[in-house]
A = this chain, B = another copy of it.
């Protein structure tokens, strides 16, 4: 199965990387771009018996390694 994990900083957390990209875009003349947020996209193949088991496993991976649950939220997709 193919797992995809989207990791983002939680809404209240300052996204410094996003702010830097936003001012770079403005500097290049794209002043219409606002509220830039940058996250991680993690994809991998996973050996699992079924979709529910895969989802549970990937969520455990997120809590332990792939995301920092204190400041980041994540979304798991299994295909």
- Footprint of B on A, CB under 8 Å? 3, 6-8, 18, 21-22, 24-25, 28, 30, 32-48, 57, 61, 64-66
The count of identical subunits is: 2
Is A65's CB under 8 angstroms from B24's CB? yes
Chain B residues, CB < 8 A from A38: 40-42
In the complex, what distance in Å separates the CA atom of A1 from the CA atom of B49?
Answer: 40
Known: A25-B61, A64-B28. A41 touches B41 (CB 8 A): yes
Chain B residues, CB < 8 A from A35: 44-45
Chain B residues, CB < 8 A from A37: 42-44
Is A61's CB under 8 angstroms from B33's CB? yes
Is B8's CB under 8 angstroms from A32's CB? no
